[in-house]
Structure 1
Amino acid sequence: MSSIFLGQVNYSVKSNSLYYRVLSHANKMLCISVLGVLITLLISYPYAGYFSIPVQIFAHISTIVLAAILKVSYVLRCVAQHGLGQEVR
Protein backbone atom coordinates (compact mmCIF):
# COMPACT_ATOMS: atom_id res chain seq x y z
CA MET A 1 0.00 0.00 0.00
CA SER A 2 2.84 2.41 0.77
CA SER A 3 4.47 1.81 -2.61
CA ILE A 4 1.28 2.94 -4.36
CA PHE A 5 1.20 6.04 -2.20
CA LEU A 6 4.85 6.81 -2.95
CA GLY A 7 4.19 6.42 -6.65
CA GLN A 8 1.39 8.96 -6.43
CA VAL A 9 3.57 11.42 -4.52
CA ASN A 10 6.34 11.17 -7.09
CA TYR A 11 3.84 11.75 -9.87
CA SER A 12 2.53 14.80 -8.03
CA VAL A 13 6.03 16.20 -7.62
CA LYS A 14 6.79 15.65 -11.30
CA SER A 15 3.59 17.35 -12.41
CA ASN A 16 4.20 20.27 -10.03
CA SER A 17 7.68 20.62 -11.47
CA LEU A 18 6.15 20.70 -14.95
CA TYR A 19 3.63 23.34 -13.89
CA TYR A 20 6.41 25.48 -12.39
CA ARG A 21 8.38 25.29 -15.63
CA VAL A 22 5.30 26.10 -17.72
CA LEU A 23 4.51 29.04 -15.44
CA SER A 24 8.06 30.34 -15.69
CA HIS A 25 8.17 30.07 -19.48
CA ALA A 26 4.69 31.54 -19.85
CA ASN A 27 5.63 34.56 -17.72
CA LYS A 28 8.75 35.12 -19.82
CA MET A 29 6.78 34.86 -23.04
CA LEU A 30 4.17 37.28 -21.70
CA CYS A 31 6.83 39.90 -21.01
CA ILE A 32 8.52 39.40 -24.37
CA SER A 33 5.28 39.48 -26.33
CA VAL A 34 3.96 42.59 -24.53
CA LEU A 35 7.20 44.43 -25.28
CA GLY A 36 7.09 43.20 -28.87
CA VAL A 37 3.50 44.33 -29.36
CA LEU A 38 4.30 47.75 -27.93
CA ILE A 39 7.33 48.15 -30.18
CA THR A 40 5.48 47.03 -33.30
CA LEU A 41 2.56 49.33 -32.51
CA LEU A 42 4.93 52.25 -32.11
CA ILE A 43 6.58 51.41 -35.44
CA SER A 44 3.22 50.91 -37.14
CA TYR A 45 1.45 54.08 -36.06
CA PRO A 46 3.05 57.07 -34.29
CA TYR A 47 6.58 56.65 -35.68
CA ALA A 48 5.65 55.22 -39.09
CA GLY A 49 7.22 58.18 -40.89
CA TYR A 50 10.67 57.17 -39.66
CA PHE A 51 10.49 53.65 -41.13
CA SER A 52 10.34 52.29 -44.67
CA ILE A 53 7.21 50.62 -46.09
CA PRO A 54 8.64 47.06 -45.81
CA VAL A 55 9.47 47.64 -42.15
CA GLN A 56 5.97 49.00 -41.53
CA ILE A 57 4.40 45.98 -43.25
CA PHE A 58 6.55 43.66 -41.14
CA ALA A 59 5.53 45.57 -38.01
CA HIS A 60 1.82 45.28 -38.84
CA ILE A 61 2.11 41.53 -39.45
CA SER A 62 4.24 41.10 -36.33
CA THR A 63 1.62 42.87 -34.24
CA ILE A 64 -0.92 40.19 -35.13
CA VAL A 65 1.51 37.31 -34.55
CA LEU A 66 2.77 38.69 -31.24
CA ALA A 67 -0.79 39.30 -30.03
CA ALA A 68 -1.57 35.64 -30.70
CA ILE A 69 1.57 34.58 -28.79
CA LEU A 70 0.51 36.85 -25.93
CA LYS A 71 -2.90 35.18 -25.76
CA VAL A 72 -1.46 31.65 -25.86
CA SER A 73 1.11 32.42 -23.18
CA TYR A 74 -1.60 33.89 -20.94
CA VAL A 75 -3.69 30.73 -21.32
CA LEU A 76 -0.64 28.59 -20.49
CA ARG A 77 -0.02 30.75 -17.42
CA CYS A 78 -3.61 30.23 -16.27
CA VAL A 79 -3.34 26.47 -16.79
CA ALA A 80 -0.11 26.33 -14.79
CA GLN A 81 -1.54 28.40 -11.97
CA HIS A 82 -4.61 26.20 -11.83
CA GLY A 83 -2.41 23.09 -11.78
CA LEU A 84 -0.40 24.51 -8.88
CA GLY A 85 -3.55 25.40 -6.96
CA GLN A 86 -2.89 29.14 -7.18
CA GLU A 87 -5.49 31.82 -7.77
CA VAL A 88 -6.01 32.26 -11.51
CA ARG A 89 -6.11 35.93 -12.45
Structure 2
Amino acid sequence: MADYEKWLFAANGALGLSVFGLLATILLAYPLADALLLSVQIAAHIGTLVFAVGVKVAYVARLVFLSRLGRPVH
Protein backbone atom coordinates (compact mmCIF):
# COMPACT_ATOMS: atom_id res chain seq x y z
CA MET A 1 0.00 0.00 0.00
CA ALA A 2 2.84 2.40 0.74
CA ASP A 3 4.06 2.07 -2.84
CA TYR A 4 0.64 3.13 -4.11
CA GLU A 5 0.79 6.18 -1.84
CA LYS A 6 4.12 7.17 -3.38
CA TRP A 7 2.76 6.67 -6.89
CA LEU A 8 -0.38 8.63 -6.04
CA PHE A 9 1.79 11.48 -4.78
CA ALA A 10 3.84 11.32 -8.01
CA ALA A 11 0.68 11.29 -10.15
CA ASN A 12 -0.70 14.30 -8.27
CA GLY A 13 2.58 16.14 -8.77
CA ALA A 14 2.70 15.26 -12.46
CA LEU A 15 -0.89 16.45 -12.84
CA GLY A 16 -0.05 19.78 -11.21
CA LEU A 17 3.07 20.29 -13.32
CA SER A 18 1.22 19.33 -16.49
CA VAL A 19 -1.59 21.78 -15.78
CA PHE A 20 0.93 24.53 -15.05
CA GLY A 21 2.87 23.72 -18.22
CA LEU A 22 -0.31 23.64 -20.26
CA LEU A 23 -1.39 27.05 -19.01
CA ALA A 24 2.07 28.50 -19.62
CA THR A 25 2.26 27.18 -23.18
CA ILE A 26 -1.27 28.40 -23.94
CA LEU A 27 -0.26 31.87 -22.79
CA LEU A 28 2.88 31.76 -24.91
CA ALA A 29 1.14 30.32 -27.95
CA TYR A 30 -1.80 32.71 -28.09
CA PRO A 31 -1.89 36.02 -26.15
CA LEU A 32 1.89 36.56 -26.16
CA ALA A 33 2.56 35.20 -29.64
CA ASP A 34 3.18 38.63 -31.19
CA ALA A 35 6.14 39.24 -28.89
CA LEU A 36 7.84 35.88 -29.60
CA LEU A 37 9.99 34.48 -32.36
CA LEU A 38 8.35 32.00 -34.70
CA SER A 39 10.48 29.15 -33.35
CA VAL A 40 9.27 29.88 -29.81
CA GLN A 41 5.68 30.01 -31.01
CA ILE A 42 6.10 26.61 -32.67
CA ALA A 43 7.62 25.19 -29.49
CA ALA A 44 4.73 26.61 -27.47
CA HIS A 45 2.17 24.98 -29.76
CA ILE A 46 3.97 21.64 -29.56
CA GLY A 47 4.24 22.07 -25.78
CA THR A 48 0.50 22.62 -25.59
CA LEU A 49 -0.05 19.21 -27.15
CA VAL A 50 2.56 17.51 -24.97
CA PHE A 51 1.27 18.99 -21.72
CA ALA A 52 -2.34 18.17 -22.63
CA VAL A 53 -1.32 14.52 -23.02
CA GLY A 54 0.52 14.79 -19.69
CA VAL A 55 -2.65 16.01 -17.98
CA LYS A 56 -4.62 13.07 -19.35
CA VAL A 57 -2.02 10.43 -18.47
CA ALA A 58 -1.44 11.82 -14.96
CA TYR A 59 -5.18 11.99 -14.30
CA VAL A 60 -5.71 8.38 -15.36
CA ALA A 61 -2.75 7.31 -13.22
CA ARG A 62 -4.24 9.19 -10.29
CA LEU A 63 -7.56 7.40 -10.73
CA VAL A 64 -5.84 4.01 -10.92
CA PHE A 65 -3.88 4.57 -7.71
CA LEU A 66 -6.90 5.91 -5.87
CA SER A 67 -8.78 2.79 -6.92
CA ARG A 68 -5.95 0.49 -5.81
CA LEU A 69 -5.90 2.20 -2.42
CA GLY A 70 -9.65 1.66 -2.02
CA ARG A 71 -10.43 5.35 -2.00
CA PRO A 72 -13.42 6.85 -3.80
CA VAL A 73 -12.82 7.68 -7.44
CA HIS A 74 -14.86 10.62 -8.65
Tell me, yes or no, whether TM beats 0.5.
yes
Counting matched residue pairs gives 74
Please list, as runs of the form range in 1=range in 2, the aligned pairs for 1:1-89 lying within 5 A after superposition: 16-89=1-74
The answer for unaligned runs of 5 or more in structure 1 is: 1-15
> 1:69: Cα distance to partner?
1.0
Question: Is the partner of 2:60 in helix, strand or coil?
Answer: helix
- What CA distance in whole angstroms lies between the structure 2 residues aligned with 1:67 and 1:35? 10
Structure 1 stretches of 4+ moved >2 Å? none
Structure number with bigger Rg: 1
> 1:42: Cα distance to partner?
0.4
CA RMSD of aligned residues (A): 0.6
> 1:50: Cα distance to partner?
1.2
> 1:30: Cα distance to partner?
0.5
The answer for unaligned runs of 5 or more in structure 2 is: none
Compute the TM-score of the two structures, normalised by the length of structure 1.
0.81
- What CA distance in whole angstroms lies between the structure 2 residues aligned with 1:31 and 1:82? 20
- Identity among equivalent positions (%) equals 43
